Amino acid sequence: MNGVLAATIAANRVEKADIWAERQVALGDDANATPVTLAVWDSGLDTAIFAETGQLWENPDETPGNGRDDDDNGYIDDRHGIAYDLDANRVSELLYPIGEIAEDEASLQRLVKGIGDIQFNVDSEEASAVRQRMAALDQAEVKDFLESLGAYGNYSHGTHVGGIAAAGNPFARLLAARMTYGHELIPEEPTLPQAHREAAMMLETVQYFRDNGVRVVNMSWGGSLRGIEDALEANGAGDSPEARKAFARELYDITNDALRRAIAEAPEILFVTSAGNSDNDVRFDEFYPSSYDYPNLLTVGAVDKAGDETSFTSLGKVDIYGNGFEVESYVPGGNRIAYNGTSMSSPQVMNLAGKLLALYPQLTVAELKALILDAADEKALESRTIRLLNPKASLALAGERFGG
């Protein structure tokens, strides 16, 4: 690690003030509020955690665990949401079936945090532990080690996001919508049938949200044209770079067009998405959904605890910034750990939206967006001005505009 980066990290940990604690507002159980359905469209949810806190959405017409589609909606056992596997086929498990974990789970959680910290240029004890572990491995063992961390990272991602989204809101009701991420270093080869299944999954999932009264959806994920090209190249697909590029474009457009259509046809739902962690400009690089410009979508970037832009956040069409540095939340089983990334800043916007809707359920998407954006604090950077999320100010503004 170079000296400049080390100094920056040290300053962030020691010298910078935390601006976020004073901005937070927790709703009490006795608040004059109504339950609000929030969808965590992610890698899955440990429903036991949120059942215990009373923050889990329930489909009253479905009997869990009987292997039947009781309400004839096309989904088996969708008591708390829906799930799709890696091939975009419908399954019942809302949490990815990771199987037996060879490593001590607490140790694995620290290592997963560490590999993420390394990717985001964050120095930490966990990152040091990963480096030490990898230095002790034979070259043949490195692939299995990294893939095991990738699998657990995917397994825990959605639950971590859900915990952030529901924090301080006893009226939140989380609906799980699982999609499955690959964790292999060489991804599966993209194909036309797979692209069409993923397109169908996008449309079906958003229709499920509409059918079940979801008000806000968090999407801490994305896809890119470059990612498809890279996967084709890794699998030796295509006769030439030009052929791969053309095929990647065809595959990307199939899924991208379906997601665009799904969001556009659900104007009553606010979609919140992370800008991504690629330190790029999503206006010019083809990423979905962070590059979209729809009246019912917010794209969220990441700043650190002092409100300064992180080194990893993507730029461009970013509507608002939230804390993406060392954000603590649940992982499956109920432990709590801090992760970094725009995946962690995005659900903080959904958290605020959920509280506003719990208190003011009559809000339209346009009114909800305005409360979030109008009350945000503006911060001037060298070349532009960004907005920082301010939950306390947004809730106060809602009181002024809508009473209460």
Q: What is the pLDDT of residue 107?
A: 82
Torsion sign, CA atoms 153, 156, 162, 168: negative
Does residue 186 surpass a pLDDT of 80? yes
| 120 against 13, higher pLDDT | 120
Angle 98-329-82 from CA coordinates, rounded to 5°: 50
Question: Residues 142-171: what's their mean pLDDT?
Answer: 93
Question: In this structure, are residues 348 and 25 in contact, taking their beta carbons and an 8 Å threshold?
Answer: no
CATH number, domain at 61? 3.40.50.200
Q: Which of 42-46, 76-80, 114-118, 230-234 has the lowest mean pLDDT?
A: 114-118
Q: What pTM value is reported for the model?
A: 0.91
For residue 383, name the pLDDT band (cuts at 50, 70, 90). Answer: confident
Does residue 372 surpass a pLDDT of 50? yes
Tally the domains of the chain.
1
Closest CA to 123 of 238, 10, 272, 248: 10
Q: What is the pLDDT of residue 7?
A: 46
Q: Spell out a b/e string for 298-325, using b for 16 or more CB atoms within 10 Å of the CB, else e.
A: bbbbbbbbebbbbebbbbbbbbbbbbbb
Euclidean distance between CA atoms 154 and 183, whole angstroms: 7
Q: What is the pLDDT of residue 179?
A: 97
Q: Which of 39-53, 252-266, 273-287 has the lowest mean pLDDT?
A: 273-287
Question: In this structure, are residues 156 and 332 in contact, taking their beta carbons and an 8 Å threshold?
Answer: yes
Does residue 390 surpass a pLDDT of 60? yes
Helix-strand-coil split of the chain, %, nearest 5? 40, 15, 40
User: What percentage of residues in the chain have a pLDDT greater than 70?
Assistant: 91
- Supply the range of the domain harboring residue 326: 3-402
Q: What is the pLDDT of residue 285?
A: 64
Give the pLDDT confidence of 72-88 residue by residue, as tens digits: 999 999 999 999 999 99
Does residue 121 surpass a pLDDT of 80? no
Closest CA to 207 of 269, 272, 274, 290: 269
Give the pLDDT confidence of 280-297 residue by residue, as tens digits: 454 446 899 999 999 999
Give the pLDDT confidence of 202-218 residue by residue, as tens digits: 999 999 999 999 999 99
Closest CA to 228 of 251, 199, 255: 251
Q: What is the pLDDT of residue 235?
A: 96
